[in-house]
Structure 1
Amino acid sequence: MQRVEHVMGFPVSLRIDDEGDLTEAADAVFAWLRETDARFSPFIPGSEVSRYGRGELADGELSADLREVLGLCERYRAATGGAFDVRLPGRGFDPCAVVKGWSVQRAAGLLSAAGARRFCLNAGGDVVVSGGPWRVGIRHPEAADQVCAVLAVTDAAVATSGRYERGDHILDGRTGRPATGLLSLTVLAPTLTEADATATAAFALGAEGPAWAAARPGCEVFAVDAERSVVRTPGFAIAQPFACRNAETLAV
């Protein structure tokens, strides 16, 4: 089965290689993602996130899902010393950097619960896979038609944060200014919840981000800095190297 829908502002593709009819499971995946968008988008005035951001909901009125998301946001804010922050001045409350990976990982859980064992769920370039190995390419940060690395991924997730799609949209919460120390940073982790939030948080940290992400339990890192130098952890095995000025293996 292969299916693609535009949800939460980006294309989401699902491929299931198991035999048998998993149509209902696929329906549940996209229904959950549409529900997530309606409840957690800061761009929908009536969403739970928007209402919370405006101070219209007390803590006791929050859903269990939003409380979980808030806990994740605080965990990464504290771990980065405030570089990652979903409450930036002038931007309002925006937990999208956590919600995307969290919601897609839960969607993957729906597939597993329905009996799917070999699938790939790709949400705007961030990927969670079951079974494998699956070949996952990382986009070149300066050439949209090229990849700078190809991974063989089994039962894991891959997420990338970068400046190439939306410009300097990730801010360092400590300064309020764009994080410009890196061109892109990719994290391989057991879940997309971890991979996506870690990639964004590390990018917000700038030059110190790769080492910080590499020290996170279960995370492997591949990063290209503003000088086009590459750093990666030993466990981030690539089949296709990036043409760069310098390459360095992070010691963890």
Structure 2
Amino acid sequence: MSAVTAPRPATASSHEGSSAPATPRRAFVEQVMGLPVSVHVRGELPAVQATEVEEAVGQVWSFLHKVDELFSTWRPDSELMRLRRGELDGADAHPWHEEVAQLCAQAQQRTGGLFTAAYPGSGGYDPTGLVKGWAVEKAAAHLANVPGISWCVNAGGDIVAGAGRGARPTSWRVGIEDPRSPGTVAASLDLAIGGLATSGTAARGLHIGDPRTGGAVDRAGSVTVWGPGLLWADVWATALFVDPVAGREALAAHDPAYRSFVL
């Protein structure tokens, strides 16, 4: 789980001028993919526009629930589990499986093998380390169709932000939690458009594997990565937690638009 705290709007004094009134904001929360996902929307919302927001948020939830049906490792009836058991032919599976498999292959190549979907003991294939970032980023695209708003989606601390049609993006202040001192913010940054993800062991224990050894990464700390999109921020956060030195070298070579913060 990411160690990022829930986002809050930047203060009016630092981003909108000291005399500007607070911008109206709405928040929505849904339990999906085994974690709470929240959508935060900021902007002037007349009745018609508010309805558009609610419809877009409903599309976000529908998309994420569909992803859960397809990729969950906790649901024995998911397509992923049926593929693992040989009960479903790949040709008959939803097209998203092929899309995710191709992205996992790209992630393994870009990170120099620090990220992989091939793990012994998990049916030989487990794309879930990429699926959350991919799914939340694609789901959030529904919000980009609503005019005049800024939005932020927080999926267990992994965050993607953006703006609707014709809107000027406004920043969201994100706090990065100190993994050695829960509840303490070690650093903060502003995110207007793009994604941010954190990997570490403080919340979920030793759940991140090192593909080079086949064992779990057994160390404290966390890595936060942010940049143009959540999918690759999430992949790189995992890779840098596995090996901060080699991960930073690969990140600089393949995705220099992303930044990292290692604790």
TM-score normalised by the chain length of structure 1: 0.83
Deviation, 1:158, is 0.6
Question: What residue is the counterpart of 2:79 in the other structure?
Answer: 48
Q: 1:13 aligns with which of 38, 60, 85?
A: 38
Match of 1:143 in 2: 181
Higher RCO by CA contacts (8 Å cutoff, separation 6 or greater):
2
Q: Deviations over 1:148-200 (max 9, x none)?
A: 11001111111000111111110111111112366211111111111112211
| 2:129 aligned residue (97, 100, 103) | 97
Match of 2:105 in 1: 74
What is the rounded CA distance, in whole Å, between the counterparts of 1:183 and 1:174 in structure 2?
A: 20
Report the counterpart of residue 227 of structure 2 in structure 1: 189
TM-score by length of structure 2 reads: 0.79
8 Å contact from structure 1 (residues 160, 185) kept in 2: yes
Write the mapping of 1:141-220 to structure 2, written as runs, cut at 5 A. Answer: 141-180=179-218, 183-215=221-253, 216-220=255-259
Superposition RMSD in Å: 1.8
Residue in 2 that maps onto 1:63:
94
Q: 1:114 to 1:212 in 2, by over 3 A?
A: same
Q: Distance in 2 between matches of 1:146 and 1:166?
A: 18
Contact 1:182 1:207 in 2 (8 A): no
Structure 2 residue 158 is the aligned partner of structure 1 residue 126: yes
Q: Secondary structure at the match of 1:211?
A: helix
The 8 Å contact of residues 202 and 220 in structure 2, kept in 1 or not, is answered as no
Q: Quote the offset at 1:207 in angstroms.
A: 4.2
Q: Could you give the per-residue CA deviations for residues 33-69 of structure 1, whole angstroms, max 9, x where no partner exists?
A: 1111111111111111112222333332232211111
Consecutive unaligned residues in structure 1, runs of 5 or more = 225-252
SS at match of 2:116: coil
Partner residue in 2 for 1:38: 69
Distance 1:205 1:55 in 2: 34
1:143 is displaced (CA, Å) by 1.1
Aligned to 2:59: 28
More strand by share: 1
- Residue 218 and residue 56 in structure 1: after superposition, are their counterparts in 2 closer, same or farther (change >3 A)? farther
- Whichever residue aligns with residue 180 of structure 2, its letter is E
Provide the rounded CA distance (Å) in 1 between the counterparts of 2:211 and 2:79.
Answer: 23
SS in 2 for 1:178: coil
Residues matched between the structures, number: 224
1:182–1:213 distance in 2 versus 1, CA, 3 Å: farther
Sequence identity percentage: 39
- Give the ranges of 4+ consecutive aligned residues of structure 1 lying more than 4 Å apart after TM superposition: none
Conservation of the 8 A alpha-carbon contact between 2:176 and 2:187: yes
Residue 221 of structure 2: SS of its match in structure 1? strand
